Amino acid sequence: MSEIETYRAQARAWLESVAPKYARAARGKLNLSVEEDLALGRQYMAEKYDAGYAGINWKTEIGGQGLSNMHKIAFDAEEMQFGMPNVYFGISLGMPIPILIHYGQDRAWVKERVVKALRGEEIWCQLFSEPSGGSDLAALRTKAEPDGNGWRMTGQKIWTSWAQYCDYGVIVVRTDPTVEKHKGLTYFWVDMKAEGVEVRPIKLAGGDSHVNEVFFDAVRLEDSQRMGEVGGGFGVALHTLMIERYIATDSAGFGPHLDLFVDTARDLTINGKPALKDGRIRSAIARNHAMRAGLDSITKRAFAMMQAGMQPGPEGSLQKLVAVRSRQKLSEMALDLQGNQAFDFDPHAYVKEDWGTSWLNAPTGRIAGGSDEVLLNTIAEKVLGLPQDHRPDKGVPFNAIPA
Amino acid sequence: MSEIETYRAQARAWLESVAPKYARAARGKLNLSVEEDLALGRQYMAEKYDAGYAGINWKTEIGGQGLSNMHKIAFDAEEMQFGMPNVYFGISLGMPIPILIHYGQDRAWVKERVVKALRGEEIWCQLFSEPSGGSDLAALRTKAEPDGNGWRMTGQKIWTSWAQYCDYGVIVVRTDPTVEKHKGLTYFWVDMKAEGVEVRPIKLAGGDSHVNEVFFDAVRLEDSQRMGEVGGGFGVALHTLMIERYIATDSAGFGPHLDLFVDTARDLTINGKPALKDGRIRSAIARNHAMRAGLDSITKRAFAMMQAGMQPGPEGSLQKLVAVRSRQKLSEMALDLQGNQAFDFDPHAYVKEDWGTSWLNAPTGRIAGGSDEVLLNTIAEKVLGLPQDHRPDKGVPFNAIPA
Amino acid sequence: MSILYDEGQQAIATESRRVLDARASKDRLLKLLEQVGEHDGPFWDTAVEQGWTALAVPEEHGGLGLGLIELGLVAQACGAATAGAPFLTPGYGVTHALVTAGKADLAAKYLPQIAAGEARGAVAFAEGTDVLPTSPATTFADGKLSGSKPAVPGGLKAELVLVWASGANGPVLVIAELAGAERKAVSSFDNSRLYADLTFAGTPAAVLAEGAAALSLARDVLARMAVVTAHEQVGGAEALLHIARDYALMRKAFGQPIGAFQSVKHRISEMYGLVEIARANCIHAAAVAGTDEFLVAAADARLTGTEAYDTCARDCVQIHGGIGVTWEQGLHLHMRRARSLAIEQGNLLFWEDLLVEALTGEAA
Amino acid sequence: MSILYDEGQQAIATESRRVLDARASKDRLLKLLEQVGEHDGPFWDTAVEQGWTALAVPEEHGGLGLGLIELGLVAQACGAATAGAPFLTPGYGVTHALVTAGKADLAAKYLPQIAAGEARGAVAFAEGTDVLPTSPATTFADGKLSGSKPAVPGGLKAELVLVWASGANGPVLVIAELAGAERKAVSSFDNSRLYADLTFAGTPAAVLAEGAAALSLARDVLARMAVVTAHEQVGGAEALLHIARDYALMRKAFGQPIGAFQSVKHRISEMYGLVEIARANCIHAAAVAGTDEFLVAAADARLTGTEAYDTCARDCVQIHGGIGVTWEQGLHLHMRRARSLAIEQGNLLFWEDLLVEALTGEAA
């Protein structure tokens, strides 16, 4: 058994030992509120940290375990099967903390934050999108103006996941409106409990409210909260999105595994015949399997290359685009197949185990973290070298662009 | 029996009477060259004229029969089933002649041309596209400069169907390079046998050569050959394309009827089971039938409205876009279904009765007479009022646009 | 059977759209999504007041003696408004069954109530995934119904139900009063559809048709309801097309309206194509109701109607970006309705198979 | 079974691409389209000279002892060049059968000839629309083959043929010399594939495997050929992606490169997605050849390879507009090849069913 396999076996053993308290199977019966589930999640993260499974592939000097990406992948693969209450910490540990590790100025303070974030004691959010900006990162309007030896920030962010439970956030703001729009941005971390910060949850089409509007009214930022150069915020933000590309991959498009579709179809008939015998269903299964297998191989190869010290190819940017779009149609089909039985619907069902919530929330997946259209443009321009779209605002100082 | 039904019955009787000489069934055996088939076609057109089935819905004073669109549709529906050798005259009578009737200056001369065109003695072509222009009609470079009381034309046209057999053509050329590009165009008719006109056939992907490049070297045009105002050519050209939209509709996308797909599938098995029992085939048949039925209903309604003196809706512009695109995929599927048997291929098989030539020539159909993309833009802009694409050349004098 | 609407039909289309626009309330509809067992009272009052329940009822029974074309136009307006009550379509199904079955007493008893909006209709054919089961498990004997039907649209509040059941000799189509049945509300993603599991335990019912006659009548009722639903789908799809178009003109990105970007522009043009093709099929189907062409025409309308509404729901939300997935903005009202209508009266697979069998004689 | 190419493999990829680019001739290939029974001699000479015929032949038989990964990389380069001879893939099929069947005499006799390019291979499994018929009509008895196989790729000029036939007790996989068979050229849309109807009238043949062993070997051969073909499809699709990208940068409309229009831009990005997904499946499939995962991985590669090549052929032509459909411009070389490769080794329906059966245990 390879070292990774041994590690995987140990991880599985530990996960099974805590599963009775934390796994979805156990929590499902309790009908916990989001707050209660989050509290349980914090306990789980602390136990996970103590067991040495937190920050697996991060350096030891900032609180990680100093192991390889392969160890991390092995643990995650096992952990996913239990449905542990860790959804609240995914973004926090996925993007903001790695960025903090990379750009944070006060290293001691950084390490303290990292450990508390790993233990689930603190949660970080990512404050990028704005109402007016949509998918146009460079069009941000939230501004920070020099204020003595620091800054004062005013404006509004939107679509911020879990902000209502966050202690800190990373944010991109405009510090110079007089230069071309993507050049006037700077990146900071912000204390979400600071005076002048207000969080308002947004109710989504599916009925839940894990995303928020966040308002900043003359919030004070020390210059030590700056990450990267003044005017260098656009670059840091792109770096964040790069990380996101590799962290956030799921060939099921964050919906149910294809096996669930097969199980669903296995019990059904179409005009009296077994659904699995029907060419239309077989085609859907086969095409989705082939597509997902391709995405999984792309991910495996990317990590193998990172492991070998190589830079993975840009094909990683296909993951969300392809996977979520097809999840949407597969979920529709899974519902239609069930006929009237599909009407029976639980809005709180887990999106990876239920066709109803998977279908209803799929559009959010096709928009959040870069819409299909933005991803297609990015591939065309950054990967294939095709020209940018026409941009009337190009080269124009931000404060000269008609709103 | 309604008047139309009576008319249809008479038409069918006449068609059957000439079928032994002209119908595809009869010609098929003879392996005629294009020239021989064309000669036969001219005879057919003459007989058709003498029988009173030419120019059915055109005014009697210019050589038509003065009957309704319904009579025309009834005859065409019957005629189509026989596969008469009339393909060479479709464009000639479809666009150029109606435009000539509308804009031609010398009415006596116009009537003479109309009759000769109806009798198949003369053929007209339409000279729009240019090598540099592509789908951008307003970017035409062929120019006509004032020359005494007339004009002298120099330039090149491309994708001109049947030009090698044509006596006359209608053409759009640039008469003023100093104004905004779509404003400097003028519309003429041209004698294809005139000095300085050279026609070079283009061989297409399918292997045949019915389209041509046409070169004009200082060709003399009388001002009496002008149709519409000087500088009014763009409008006349759009008028031509409007006519094209209603003349050239076939919900089969100018490929085989769906019945042929059913017949093809009926004889085949998929992994040992009848293809018609397979959900994938059933879905293809059903979806294509539904789509084609919708297009047919749109056409029926358009003609009913014209008949009732109303202006038909813009949905007619969907026909080619939807029909040809789906014909392409249906043809691929029909070939794939046949397995190795599909390799047996006759490049001269009639495109409406053969999956191989239908598949191989489908791309031409998606490009000729307005590409899919141009049609989608036209619908978006002209029907739905969406903005034009960004056009760096907008408002710029033609001779100031970088080539 | 003209394919051009006459003045009266155009008036119905305009008026129904006008009155629904005037009384529309997104907030009311959003609230209904989270209330199991509630429907949009004001909408239904409007429907009754406007005489939509009487449209297809013969004049001698207090109706307007109109048909599928007129009802289709009303359904189209209701689809655009994501109407908050499910009774229009099954109500028409029950009406058509009563008008066609030739049971004068039943017609005389129920049609006036339906026309007046006093009796709301539901149609319970499906069992499991079978839209019209060959031998339904629900049985009918000695004037009584036994068995159950899952998630029947409108079942929770309708007064009358048309039931597909097994009788002594083959299938029967019967009508029953729902007061005599047990109903259990189904919590769904589109709660104003009032889905209910119906259980019949000796529920009194009256026979409308038996054996072969029952099957052909049930098929005709189903096909007609499918055409009404297709009109509703076209109405919804067209509304989404216009919402998308208007948003694409208003919303700016990178300094210009997003409608100037071909990905948005062409997607909206494709939506237009799907809407017009479905509309044309609906007009044709309604025009040939009662002829041999009808079943095929109904399938064409149903397939393109479902494709149009589903695609427009997906793409209109996508074009809106983030705002499109908020609860308040309400596009999900259409998205949810697109799904419920795609399943009611049989999904795409059912209609594909039915159409191909009609075209080729080959059963699935 | 690493999923990262080693240096040797990368060298094979680069070198095969380089030599094919250097010797490519569009005119030669266009001419071949109109000549029934001719293939691209210079290409095949290159293949032999480069040792591609010897790649998968064990060293003791004069080969290089390499495998599917290396052959896949060569096939990818051939796909990009729409190579003008069909022997590479079936040649590998015959090679693998000889290597695996364990008939030392036959291996010793034929493998050196194959490695040296003296014996070119064809594979004749299909009959009618059956890719691998359960009970083939072609029979084998007393060392002789009788029956016929339609439109066998390369059949017109190959020296050796691997045949799927019915023996005394169940199916057999046999090898025969084509000199002893009758061949009739099939005029096709991709003539350099050298399709031929093969007729066996007592053609001498030798058994490689019988019964269950024959079936599993035939399946393995078919799956491996499908993976080679999938690599070829990826090569063709990727070439079209680059052609489309370059044209979109060069060609101007409305005063800007057409690549600046999102309809063109996004279509090319979608092409990229299809190519990379198919490539990833190919790499994985080649890496797991010989393991239990292989059949599923091969189906994944084959399905995405076919989809990628077909879509790229359609869209690359469309992006070119009028020039894209001319004979001289030659994009139809890819369009035709996309179709022939989509059908050789079994169409999408066949592989969908095979994959689903492997995943669910449910036969079609």
Residue C296 vs residues B251, B297, C226, C292, C364: alpha-carbon distances, Å = 17, 13, 12, 8, 16
Query: Which pLDDT does position B403 carry in this prediction?
Result: 45
What is the Cα–Cα distance from C263 to B386, expressed in whole angstroms?
12
What is the Cα–Cα distance from C275 to C264, expressed in whole angstroms?
17
Chain C closest CA to A53's CA: distance in Å? 35
Q: At D201, is the secondary structure helix, strand, or coil?
A: strand
Nearest residue, CB atoms, D268 vs list A294, A300, A386:
A386
Instruction: Identify all chain B residues contacting C359, using CB atoms and an 8 Å cutoff.
Output: 262, 285, 289
Which has more confidence, A130 or C33? C33
pLDDT band at B305 (very low <50, low <70, confident <90, very high): confident
Phi, psi of C304 (to 5 degrees): -75, -30
Nearest residue, CB atoms, B276 vs list C256, C277, C362:
C362
| Complex confidence, ipTM | 0.94
Nearest residue, CB atoms, B363 vs list D261, D325, D346:
D325
Nearest residue, CB atoms, B393 vs list D134, D255, D352:
D255
Query: Which pLDDT does position D1 carry in this prediction?
Result: 46
Phi, psi of B124 (to 5 degrees): -110, 145
Question: Cβ of D266 under 8 Å from any chain C Cβ?
Answer: yes
Task: Using 70 as the pLDDT threshold, list the residues of chain D that sit under it.
Answer: 1-2
> How many contacts (CB atoms, under 8 Å) link B and C?
138
Chain D closest CA to A386's CA: distance in Å? 6
User: Which residue of D277, D296, D310, D316 is the best one to mutate when testing the A interface, meaning the one whose CB has the most A CBs within 10 A?
Assistant: D277
Q: At B189, is the secondary structure helix, strand, or coil?
A: strand
What is the Cα–Cα distance from B214 to B131, expressed in whole angstroms?
11
Chain B closest CA to A159's CA: distance in Å? 28
Query: Which pLDDT does position B374 carry in this prediction?
Result: 87
Instruction: Identify all chain D residues contacting C315, using CB atoms and an 8 Å cutoff.
Output: none
pTM over the 0.80 mark: yes
Instruction: Identify all chain D residues contacting C263, using CB atoms and an 8 Å cutoff.
Output: 262-263, 266
Nearest residue, CB atoms, C4 vs list B293, B294, B304:
B304
- Please count the helices (runs of H) and the strands (runs of E) in chain A: 13, 10
Q: Is B283's CB within 8 Å of A282's CB?
A: no
What is the Cα–Cα distance from A69 to D159, expressed in whole angstroms?
51
Question: Cβ of A32 under 8 Å from any chain D Cβ?
Answer: no
Instruction: Identify all chain B residues contacting C299, using CB atoms and an 8 Å cutoff.
Output: 286, 290
Cβ within 8 Å of B, D 40-99: none
Chain D closest CA to C284's CA: distance in Å? 33
Question: Which position has the token pair 């070297």?
Answer: B217
- Chains near C, with 3+ CB pairs < 8 A? A, B, D
Mean pLDDT of chain A: 90
Chain C closest CA to A240's CA: distance in Å? 20
pLDDT for residue A313 is more than 90: no
C-alpha distance across the termini of chain C, in Å: 32
Beta carbons within 10 angstroms of residue D27's beta carbon? 9
Cβ within 8 Å of A, C 224-253: 251, 253
Query: Which pLDDT does position A247 carry in this prediction?
Result: 60
Instruction: Identify all chain B residues contacting C260, using CB atoms and an 8 Å cutoff.
Output: 386-390
Question: Cβ of C26 under 8 Å from any chain D Cβ?
Answer: no
Question: Cβ of C352 under 8 Å from any chain B Cβ?
Answer: yes
What is the Cα–Cα distance from D246 to D288, expressed in whole angstroms?
35
Cβ within 8 Å of C, B 284-343: 285-287, 289-291, 293-295, 297-298, 300-301, 304-305, 308, 313, 315, 318, 321-322
What is the Cα–Cα distance from B29 to A310, expressed in whole angstroms?
66
Which has more confidence, B11 or A70? B11
Question: Cβ of C269 under 8 Å from any chain D Cβ?
Answer: no
Which stretch of DSSP H or E encloses residue A54?
A: none
Residue in chain D closest to C266 (alpha carbons) equals D263
Q: Burial level of B312, CB count in 10 A (0-12/13-18/19+)?
A: middle
Cβ within 8 Å of D, B 156-175: 158-159
pLDDT band at B28 (very low <50, low <70, confident <90, very high): confident
Mean pLDDT of chain B: 90
pLDDT for residue B135 is more than 60: no
Question: Cβ of A20 under 8 Å from any chain C Cβ?
Answer: no
Q: Is A283's CB within 8 Å of B278's CB?
A: no
What is the Cα–Cα distance from B205 to B191, expressed in whole angstroms?
29
Nearest residue, CB atoms, A289 vs list D259, D260, D355:
D355
pLDDT for residue A135 is more than 70: no
pLDDT for residue B308 is more than 90: no
- Chains near B, with 3+ CB pairs < 8 A? A, C, D
Q: What amino acid is encoded at B185 in this protein?
A: L
State the Cα angle at A112 between A110 and A116, rounded to 5°: 115
Cβ within 8 Å of B, D 131-170: 131, 134, 150-152
Question: Cβ of B279 under 8 Å from any chain C Cβ?
Answer: yes
Residue in chain C closest to B379 (alpha carbons) equals C269
Are the C-beta atoms of D167 and D141 separated by less than 8 Å? yes
Nearest residue, CB atoms, C325 vs list A359, A363, A376:
A363
pLDDT band at B395 (very low <50, low <70, confident <90, very high): low
Which stretch of DSSP H or E encloses residue A118?
A: helix A107-118
Query: Which pLDDT does position B244 carry in this prediction?
Result: 64
Nearest residue, CB atoms, B383 vs list C248, C272, C360:
C272
Q: pLDDT tens digits for chain C (364 residues)?
A: 467 899 999 999 999 999 999 999 999 999 999 999 999 999 999 999 999 999 999 999 999 999 999 999 999 999 999 999 999 999 999 999 999 999 999 999 999 999 999 999 999 999 999 999 999 999 999 999 999 999 999 999 999 999 999 999 999 999 999 999 999 999 999 999 999 999 999 999 999 999 999 999 999 999 999 999 999 999 999 999 999 999 999 998 878 899 999 999 999 999 999 999 999 999 999 999 999 999 999 999 999 999 999 999 999 999 999 899 999 999 999 999 999 999 999 999 999 999 999 999 999 8
Instruction: Identify all chain D residues contacting C266, using CB atoms and an 8 Å cutoff.
Output: 262-263
User: Which residue of B269, B271, B278, B393 is the best one to mutate when testing the A interface, meaning the one whose CB has the most A CBs within 10 A?
Assistant: B278
Helix residue ranges per DSSP H, chain D: 7-23, 26-33, 41-49, 68-80, 88-101, 104-115, 211-250, 262-287, 294-320, 331-343, 348-360
Chain D closest CA to A365's CA: distance in Å? 18
Which of A226-240, B232-246, D89-103 tops mean pLDDT? D89-103
pLDDT 10s digits, A327-367: 999 999 999 999 999 999 999 888 989 999 999 999 999 98
Residue in chain D closest to B137 (alpha carbons) equals D254
Q: What is the mean pLDDT of the segment spanning B10-25?
A: 95
Are the C-beta atoms of D360 and A285 separated by less than 8 Å? yes
Q: Specify the pairing of strand C139-141 against strand C144-152.
A: antiparallel
Residues in contact with C182: Cβ distance below 8 Å, sequence separation at least 6, in sequence order: C198, C199, C200, C201
Q: For A379-394, b where at least 16 C-beta lie within 10 A, e where not — what string?
A: bbbebbebbebbbebe
Cβ within 8 Å of D, B 345-384: 345-347, 356, 359-360, 363-364, 366-368, 371-373, 376
State the Cα angle at B316 between B66 and B136, rounded to 5°: 105
- Chains near A, with 3+ CB pairs < 8 A? B, C, D
Instruction: Identify all chain C residues contacting A279, using CB atoms and an 8 Å cutoff.
Output: none
Chain A closest CA to C316's CA: distance in Å? 10
What is the Cα–Cα distance from B148 to B222, expressed in whole angstroms?
9
What is the Cα–Cα distance from B204 to D115, expressed in whole angstroms?
40
The radius of gyration of chain B from alpha carbons, rounded to an integer in Å, stands at 22
Question: Cβ of D347 under 8 Å from any chain B Cβ?
Answer: yes
Which has more confidence, B363 or B350? B363
What is the Cα–Cα distance from A321 to A314, expressed in whole angstroms?
13
